[in-house]
Amino acid sequence: MQLLTEIRIGGFGGQGVILAAAVIGKAAAIFQGGYATMTQSFGPEARGGSSSAQVILSTEPILYPYVAHPDVLVVMSQAAYTTFTPQLKPGGILITEQEMVRVDKYPNGVRAYGVPATRLAEELGRKVVLNIVMVGFFGAVTNLLEPDALRKAVADSVPPAMQKLNLQAFDKGFEYGSELIEKLAENGYGEELVSLESA
């Protein structure tokens, strides 16, 4: 039986949305022996305009590369949240950059997780790696891909001089997500947005 997961990542130009999607796809297809497709779209401006990417992960060859109703939605801007949340499948996973996305009410039945990815990236000295922090967090909370496959894909997707910083960013996001999942297991939280600050 084919196992297929549809993922959409949204944000604005300059946040590294496309690279984050490419890393996830590469982890699945190259480092984990599965199949993946990626498509992307940009708003009228590259930096500062809207940007989104769609990734499909599968155990079998993928016949149609476009995502209509994602199983997992990762949003790094308010506009991306507003645009794409209505498309999220019931029972899907919503991941937000919690300091850039304000949410009044979560869709019913959605498992939602928040991470201060920009702040965690700034703690490493480079805000630009917030996308890789998000990839690490995504890896921890979805458990869709092996952490090692994701780490290898990160290292393979950035210039050699940036590898160390990006791997630190991945580890920071993954640790934050792992701690959050652990806290939730202890506290028995339901399906609402939680972060380590609120757990």
Q: Read off the pTM.
A: 0.91
Domain boundaries, the chain: 4-187
pLDDT band at 160 (very low <50, low <70, confident <90, very high): very high
Tell me: the pLDDT tens digits for 135-153? 999 999 999 999 999 999 9
Whether pLDDT at 168 is above 50:
yes
pLDDT band at 1 (very low <50, low <70, confident <90, very high): very low
Using a pLDDT cut of 90, give the percent of the chain over it. 74
- Strands, E assignment, the chain: 4-12, 35-42, 50-58, 72-75, 93-97, 111-115
Whether pLDDT at 43 is above 90:
no
Tell me: the pLDDT tens digits for 9-30? 999 888 999 999 999 999 999 9
133 Cβ neighbours under 8 A, 6+ residues apart: 115, 117, 120, 121, 169, 170, 172, 173, 176
179 Cβ neighbours under 8 A, 6+ residues apart: 196
Using a pLDDT cut of 70, give the percent of the chain over it. 89
Whether pLDDT at 184 is above 90:
no
pLDDT at residue 196 in the model: 63
Q: Whole-number mean pLDDT of the chain?
A: 89
The answer to whether residues 17 and 74 touch, using CB atoms and an 8 Å cutoff, is no
pLDDT at residue 28 in the model: 96
pLDDT band at 77 (very low <50, low <70, confident <90, very high): very high
Compute the distance between CA of residue 16 and CA of residue 37 in angstroms, rounded to an integer. Answer: 18
The CATH number of 4-187 is which of 3.30.70.940, 3.30.420.40, 3.30.360.10, 3.40.920.10? Answer: 3.40.920.10
Tell me: the pLDDT tens digits for 81-103? 999 999 999 899 999 999 999 98
